[in-house]
Amino acid sequence: MSPFFPALAARSDRPALRFGDRALTHAELAAAAGSLAARIAGARRVAVWATPTLDTAVGVVAALLAGVPVVPVNPRSGERELAHVVADSAPTRVVAGQDAVLPPALAALERLDALGPSPLPALPPAGPGAGLPPEPSPESPALIVYTSGTTGPPKGAVLPRRAVAATLDALEDAWQWTADDVLVHALPLFHVHGLILGILGPLRRGGSVRHLGLFDIEGVARELSSGATMFFGVPTMYHRIAEAVTDDPGLAGALAGARLLVSGSAALPVRDHRRIAAATGRRVIERYGMTETLMNTSVRADGEPRAGTVGLPLRGVELRLVDESGDPIEAYDGETAGEIQVRGPNLFTEYLNRPDATEAAFTEGWFRTGDMAIRDPDGYVRIVGRKATDLIKSGGYKIGAGEIENVLLDHPGVREAAVTGEPDPDLGERIIAWIVPAHPGSPPSAQELADHVAAQLAAHKRPRTVRYLDALPRNDMGKIMKRALHA
């Protein structure tokens, strides 16, 4: 079987990963990850403490080489979210950077340092196999990535090796992505966008990635002006770039020189597309994906960039729109909207420990995305909305309203709680908490509630605005009428 990372097997001396002043070539990565893989081998599952560091990239590559499913863990997970992910995925080992301080939920696991003290371990010379473990079967699970639903705790999407390989190779085709590409990247490493596209993508191509640690516009401009060719970001990042670029000729020049600017994880508003195009002469292209499906569509590098669309189905991906009764929509008329359903080698296999949820997610072999779209006459897909109002996309993160409501209801100062999303120019949507206080005279402050959610779940799930009510609007069945809240 061909290796998942050909450039590692070939011991390429070209740069592979750079995080700040720490960097590895493909050959050095092969040595470091190969040695760690030997220590991971045999584990049932391995958690990776997914800080935006070189350690995370080495840990994930090592687990892939060892054929052990890896669970990337948000290092900012709150107590409840972390306890759920650890209990549900039941890893037996955890990989972290040498200096990382792990919370009690992970401290009980056998801990492996991603990178030992330098120098790097020696490696047998290149050649078939080249001292790396044999390539596991394509159907074996590569990663388990947690993703929020409308209610309940996040579910672990089990992503097999073939899905990761299929999506990255379809993007090679769509984006003309080669070993000469150098990616600038500032996304978190515990989701598909940052980890699979941003780290595994360049490594599979034999190219390289420079990770900024945290997003900052100057860092993006600096790297694009010094050899980097691509930038992947969420719309919030492009919005901040659009706000800055008109008054920043250095940034405009850096973006103008990029080979490819890609946005994804949420819709990039047409206004931001236009502002960036006007200031740089460059068009951002959008691709559409999901944790469960990896990438489904993209505007091609050699295609017509069109603001407001996510382009065409990727190679190997079948995409259909269905109407409310589940019948396929044949029209390519730019106006008939239906739910996007997809099929192809890019799909996950199941939600871990959730056969009920897995079954509900498919219909006749098609995965129901819950996203609503229309198709232009030439096949370009335009996403126009989402079926579930209880899913919020904020900063490119998918966030379930129910999960936050449950945590708010655990606060002693809260009698009733509802969570909704409201349009936000920077985040796309902003989380709003509607609260009926237990003691109307002394309601918990907005800051206190935000801190409570951040401590239990994650900082990006915290409400940005809290509104206090005497009662929540409910229908005759007692169900909260969320649409009435905004009215």
Contacting positions for ligand MCA (CB under 6 A): 76, 187-188, 191-194, 214-215, 234, 236-237, 264-265, 289-291, 395-397, 450-451, 454, 459-460, 462
The reply to whether 96 sits near ligand AMP by the rule CB under 6 A is no
Phi, psi torsion values for 456, nearest 5 degrees: -90, -35
Q: Which of residues 441-460 bind ligand AMP (CB under 6 A)?
A: none
Decide if 293 contacts 369 (C-beta within 8 A): yes
Q: Which does 234 bind (CB under 5 to 8 A by kind): ligand MCA, ligand AMP, none?
A: ligand MCA
Residue 35, CA distances (Å) to 38, 92, 115, 200, 282 in order: 5, 18, 9, 18, 43
Among 25, 89, 291, 406, binds ligand AMP (CB under 6 A): 291
Q: Which does 286 bind (CB under 5 to 8 A by kind): ligand MCA, ligand AMP, none?
A: ligand AMP
Q: Give the residue with the Cβ less far from ligand AMP, 192 or 230.
A: 192
The reply to whether 289 sits near ligand AMP by the rule CB under 6 A is yes
Q: How far, in Å, CA of 408 to CA of 124, rounded?
A: 55
Task: Quickly tell me which residue has 């002043």 as its tokens.
Answer: 21
CB of 154 to ligand AMP, least distance (A): 10
| 482 three-class SS | helix
* Binding footprint of ligand AMP, residue count (CB under 6 A): 19
Q: Which does 89 bind (CB under 5 to 8 A by kind): ligand MCA, ligand AMP, none?
A: none
CB of 145 to ligand AMP, least distance (A): 8
Q: Which does 460 bind (CB under 5 to 8 A by kind): ligand AMP, ligand MCA, none?
A: ligand MCA
CB of 164 to ligand MCA, least distance (A): 12
Q: How far, in Å, CA of 108 to CA of 218, rounded?
A: 40
The reply to whether 264 sits near ligand AMP by the rule CB under 6 A is yes
CB of 287 to ligand MCA, least distance (A): 7
Q: How far, in Å, CA of 255 to CA of 259, rounded?
A: 9
CB of 308 to ligand MCA, least distance (A): 16
Residue 185, amino acid: H
Among 56, 147, 167, 208, binds ligand AMP (CB under 6 A): 147
CB of 9 to ligand MCA, least distance (A): 27
* Interface mask toward ligand AMP for 186-205; x: CB under 6 A: ------x-------------
Residue 346, CA distances (Å) to 138, 297, 334 in order: 12, 11, 26
The reply to whether 288 sits near ligand AMP by the rule CB under 6 A is yes
The reply to whether 295 sits near ligand AMP by the rule CB under 6 A is no
Strand-pairing partners, residue 290, are: 294
Q: How far, in Å, CA of 233 to CA of 82, rounded?
A: 26
Q: Give the residue with the Cβ less far from ligand MCA, 31 or 237.
A: 237
State which H helix or E strand residue 232 sits in: strand 230-233
The reply to whether 262 sits near ligand AMP by the rule CB under 6 A is no
Q: What is the DSSP letter of 480?
A: B
Q: Give the residue with the Cβ less far from ligand AMP, 392 or 414.
A: 392
Q: How far, in Å, CA of 162 to CA of 245, rounded?
A: 39
Q: How far, in Å, CA of 374 to CA of 334, rounded?
A: 6
Q: How far, in Å, CA of 328 to CA of 144, rounded?
A: 31
Q: Give the residue with the Cβ less far from ligand MCA, 36 or 224.
A: 224
As a whole number of Å, the CA-based R_g of the chain is 22
Strands 93-96 and 110-113: parallel
Backbone CA torsion sign across 280, 179, 396, 447: negative
CB of 291 to ligand AMP, least distance (A): 4
N residues, the chain: 487
Angle between helices 249-256 and 270-280 (to 10 degrees): 90
Q: How far, in Å, CA of 317 to CA of 329, rounded?
A: 17
Decide if 236 contacts 395 (C-beta within 8 A): yes
Q: Give the residue with the Cβ less far from ligand MCA, 351 or 397.
A: 397
Among 36, 71, 115, 267, binds ligand AMP (CB under 6 A): 267
CB of 236 to ligand MCA, least distance (A): 4
Strand-pairing partners, residue 146, are: 156
Q: Which of residues 390-429 bind ligand AMP (CB under 6 A)?
A: 393, 398
CB of 199 to ligand MCA, least distance (A): 12
Q: Which does 312 bind (CB under 5 to 8 A by kind): ligand MCA, ligand AMP, none?
A: none
Which tokens is 9 given? 């097997």
Among 16, 266, 427, 449, binds ligand AMP (CB under 6 A): 266
The reply to whether 310 sits near ligand AMP by the rule CB under 6 A is yes
Tell me how crowded residue 469 is: count the other CB atoms within 10 A of its CB: 13
The reply to whether 286 sits near ligand AMP by the rule CB under 6 A is yes
Decide if 436 contacts 414 (C-beta within 8 A): yes
> Where does this chain bind ligand AMP (CB under 6 A)?
147, 192, 264-267, 286-291, 310, 369, 371, 383, 386, 393, 398
